[in-house]
């Protein structure tokens, strides 16, 4: 199962990837913005994406990605952005995680999505 991690922060990408790898999910792809994510999203099974990024933000990415894919997309956001994320779910975001999050929250979210 291939997981795409999209965030402009290399540190945040590493945190997410470390949590997933420790849970046995090792087929990971990373992208630093929505545009790069679109170019790497062809055969992924799940996407975790940040909202605020340069070049192309997470919401724009999801809208573009949804034109060609139904795979689950989890938006990672700050607490103040929850209202916006609920709006984003209307645009195709499957679920969301609020920062700061623990590795177990991330992994359980992934595992609940891939069971569906």
> What is the pattern of x (binds Mg ion, CB under 5 A) and - over residues 4-43?
----x-----------------------------------
User: How many residues bind to Mg ion according to rule CB under 5 A?
Assistant: 4
| String of DSSP letters for 11-79 | HHHHHHHHHHHHTT---EEEESSHHHHHHH-TT-SEEEEES--SSS-HHHHHHHHTTT--S-EEEEEEG
Q: 18, 26, 52, 108: which one contacts Mg ion (CB under 5 A)?
A: 52
Q: What is the dihedral of CA 65, 91, 50, 95, to 10 degrees?
A: -110
Instruction: Return phi, psi of residue 9, to 5°.
Output: -95, 115
Q: 6, 50, 85, 106: which one contacts Mg ion (CB under 5 A)?
A: 50
Nearer to Mg ion, 51 or 65 (CB): 51
The stretch among 28-36, 50-58, 90-98, 99-107 that binds Mg ion (CB under 5 A) is 50-58
CB of 57 to Mg ion, least distance (A): 8
Contact residues toward Mg ion (CB under 5 A) are 8, 50, 52-53
């Amino acid at each position: 199962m291939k997981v795409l991690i999209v965030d402009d922060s290399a540190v945040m990408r590493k945190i997410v990837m470390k949590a997933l790898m420790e849970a046995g999910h090792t087929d990971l792809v990373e992208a630093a913005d929505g545009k790069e994510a679109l170019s790497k999203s062809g055969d992924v099974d799940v996407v975790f994406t940040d909202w605020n990024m340069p070049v192309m933000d997470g919401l724009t990415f999801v809208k573009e990605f949804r034109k060609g894919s139904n795979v689950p997309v989890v938006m990672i956001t700050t607490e103040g952005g929850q209202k916006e994320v609920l709006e984003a779910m209307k645009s195709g975001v499957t679920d969301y995680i609020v920062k700061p999050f623990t590795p177990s929250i991330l992994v359980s979210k992934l595992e609940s999505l891939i069971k569906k």
